[in-house]
Amino acid sequence: MNEIDRFQLLAELSHESCELNHGPGVRREDFPASDYIVMPFGYAENEITDVAVREVVVPVCYDCASALLGNDWTLLYCFECCSSQWVDRKLAKNSYRHHILWLRGCPHCASEFGGLYFNDFTAVADSVMFLRDHANVKAA
């Protein structure tokens, strides 16, 4: 993401609401966004050059951002239909260690599962890649 796009998103942040699931019957407007999750999808051209074909940018509120930085929750996010579901790691049947599992297709939008992508944020950075930290992560 170039700096102009980054600054434009940050300027629009005050008008955004969290797009993550807060439960049934909850209005998005009740959760003003405090940051964005930025996830580049692409491929590695070689060991030095990564090509981002598409960047998913998701506005998140303070509570969701805090949950993503902690170790109690994992977010399942479908980047085809933008639906999300939180998984409490203590109550889950599976052992989750990732903060976000990116789904390509889910029961809401596809009859066929298209794949699973995940971030090991400890390998990439010290935390989830939020827009405010985006420039610092690229420089590191």
Measured distance CA(128)–CA(64) in Å, rounded: 11
Spatial contact of 135 and 10, defined as CB atoms under 8 Å apart: no
11-43 pLDDT, tens digit each: 888 899 999 999 888 888 899 999 998 887 766
As a whole number of angstroms, the longest Cα–Cα distance in the chain is 47
pTM: 0.73
Query: For the chain, what is the domain count?
Result: 1
Pseudo-torsion of CA 51, 119, 1, 65, nearest 10°? Answer: 170
Structure tokens at 83: 């639906």
DSSP H helical segments within 13-130, as ranges?
A: 62-69, 121-124
Band (132; pLDDT cuts 50, 70, 90): low
**pLDDT at residue 139 in the model:** 37
Average pLDDT over residues 66-82: 89
In sign, the C-alpha dihedral spanning 126, 72, 98, 56 is negative
Question: How many CB atoms lie under 10 A from the CB of residue 76?
Answer: 17
Give the structural domain span for 37: 3-139
Amino acid, single-letter form, for residue 17: S
Band (52; pLDDT cuts 50, 70, 90): low
